[in-house]
């Protein structure tokens, strides 16, 4: 995450953003934050211990994400009072990310690494079954009279 110092806004001193994600095959469950770089304008942090999971009930959302011109991965962050914001969830589901945004968390859409896209594609091809569209049959009200 990047913390950029804001000098021209009386209500905001630091603007937080997610620069990207780093893929590792295995992750420990211990979440930690490490300062990678500090300049006069910004601080760059690496947050570790997050993982991404795919769920069958979210397969339709993953499918729609893949059909976008640029598929995205969403990093959901919590802004605890008196603390710096921290990411707590990485998801490929726009629906899941939006659900958190509606509860006052914030999410950033970022470009996923190519291996993420391939992994999500395999999951969708295996688990996503589109619902069949059923045309409603209208009742003939004239016959009922």
Over residues 24-82, the pLDDT tens digits come to 776 667 788 889 999 999 999 998 888 889 999 999 999 999 999 999 999 999 987 77
CB-CB neighbours of 47 under 10 Å: 19
Prediction pTM value? 0.81
User: What's the rounded Cα separation, in Å, for the pair 120 and 128?
Assistant: 11
Is the distance from CB of 68 to CB of 92 less than 8 angstroms?
no
Report which of 26, 29, 1, 23 is spatially closest to residue 120, judged by C-alpha positions: 23
């Amino acid at each position: 995450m990047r913390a950029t110092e804001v000098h021209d806004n009386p209500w905001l001193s630091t603007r937080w953003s997610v620069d990207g994600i780093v893929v590792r095959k295995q992750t420990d469950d211990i979440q930690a934050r490490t300062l990678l770089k500090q300049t006069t304008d910004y601080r760059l942090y690496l947050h570790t211990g997050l993982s991404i999971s795919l769920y069958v009930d979210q397969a339709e959302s993953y499918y729609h994400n893949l059909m976008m011109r640029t598929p995205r991965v969403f990093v959901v962050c919590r802004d605890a009072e008196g603390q710096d914001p921290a990411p707590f969830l990485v998801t490929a589901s726009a629906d899941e990310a939006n659900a958190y945004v509606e509860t006052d968390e914030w999410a950033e859409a970022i470009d996923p690494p190519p291996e993420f896209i391939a992994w999500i594609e395999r999951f969708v091809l295996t688990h996503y079954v589109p619902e069949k569209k059923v045309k409603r049959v209208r009742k003939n009200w004239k016959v009922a009279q």
